[in-house]
Amino acid sequence: MNEARVRRAGLDDVDGAVVLFNELDRLESDWRVFAPRPDVLSEIRRRYERLAAATDGILVVAESDGRLIGLGVGEVSKPSSWSDERALYVSNVYVDPAYRRLGIGHSIVAELVAFAAERAMERLVLRVFAPNRDAIAFWTDLGFEPRLTQFTVRIDQLREKIRSRASEEAP
C-alpha cells in the first residue's frame, strides 16, 4: 500500500468521489430518519462538480494506488442565524476502511483547515450522527466539542406518550 496523497479535487475526480459518497451514505443510512430525495445522488454529483472549481468551498480527495480512497467537503457558511461570522462547514469526510487509522482523515482535515485559514475563518463546524462512535472519537481527538444537540421524535409516538401521560394523570 503506497502512501496516500491528499489534495484539492478537480473535475476528473468527481466520479471517484461519488463512489466514496455512496459508501458513506450506506454507512449512515440506518441513522437517517428523513427519507432522502430520489435524485440525491445527482445533486451530490452537481455539488462536487461545482466544488471542484469553487472559491467558496472545496472538495478534498485522498489518492493511493491509483484510486481515490478518501474524501472531504468544506463550504463557507454562517452557522449562527444571530451572527455574520463565517465558518467552514465540513461534511462528507470518509476514508476507505482498508486505509483507516493511518492519518489520512487528519490529512483531509488539514487541507480543509488550510482552505479556511486562507479565507480568514476561525472555526470549522460539522454535524455527526449521535451513534457514529468512530467519527465522534476522530473529531474529539482533533479537539472538536459538541455545541448543539438535535432532538427528534415521531409524532405518532409522541401522541401516544402524551395520551398515556394524560390518562395516568386523569382522576
Rounded to the nearest whole angstrom, what is the least distance from the CB of residue 66 to ligand COA in the complex? 19
Cβ proximity of 16 and 68 under 8 Å: yes
| 128 in contact with ligand COA (CB under 6 A) | yes
Buried b (16+ CB within 10 A) or exposed e, 87-103: bbbbbbbbbbeebeebe
Cβ proximity of 15 and 42 under 8 Å: no
Give the chain's radius of gyration (CA, Å).
Answer: 19
Which CB sits closer to ligand COA, 146 or 160? 146
| 125 in contact with ligand COA (CB under 6 A) | no
Q: Which of 65, 85, 134, 160 binds ligand COA (CB under 6 A)?
A: 134
Report 12-51 residues binding ligand COA (CB under 6 A).
24, 27
Rounded to the nearest whole angstrom, what is the least distance from the CB of residue 99 to ligand COA in the complex? 7
Terminal CA-CA length for the chain: 71
Which CB sits closer to ligand COA, 89 or 115? 89
